[in-house]
């Protein structure tokens, strides 16, 4: 796997997720969020790359808050 390559794992579509799966998704989301944040702060980016990095970082912030909420660690992902 290359340095900035992200491993994508297969997910079963059963509808229900167990606690371990949610914790794994949370950790993966935190790693991806850090990668995009570091990329955004890495220096001069083109407008398109800047927008992509910011959009992905912002989306992953929401993912992290939602997964933390699902685990009972966060009051509400809407706050």
Let me know if residue 52 belongs to a domain: yes
Counted domains in the chain? 1
What whole-number distance in Å separates Cα of residue 31 and Cα of residue 38?
11
Whole domain around residue 23: which residue ranges?
Answer: 19-70
DSSP state of 7: -
Angle, CA of 68, 9 and 54, to the nearest 5°: 55
Let me know if residue 4 belongs to a domain: no
Let me know if residue 3 belongs to a domain: no
Let me know if residue 51 belongs to a domain: yes
Let me know if residue 9 belongs to a domain: no
pTM of this structure: 0.75
Let me know if residue 77 belongs to a domain: no
Task: Please tell me whether residue 5 adopts helix, strand or coil conformation.
Answer: coil
pLDDT, tens digit (0-9, with 9 covering 90-100), for 13-47: 566 778 899 999 999 999 999 999 999 999 888 99
Rounded to the nearest 5 percent, the helix, strand and coil shares of the chain are 60, 0, 40
Let me know if residue 23 belongs to a domain: yes
Let me know if residue 8 belongs to a domain: no
């Amino acid at each position: 796997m290359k340095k900035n390559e992200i491993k994508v794992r297969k997910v079963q579509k059963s509808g229900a997720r167990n606690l371990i799966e949610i914790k794994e998704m949370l950790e993966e989301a935190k790693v991806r969020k850090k990668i995009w944040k570091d990329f955004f702060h890495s220096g001069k980016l083109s407008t398109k790359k800047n927008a992509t990095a910011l959009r992905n970082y912002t989306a992953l912030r929401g993912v992290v808050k939602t997964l933390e909420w699902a685990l009972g660690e966060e009051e509400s992902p809407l706050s």
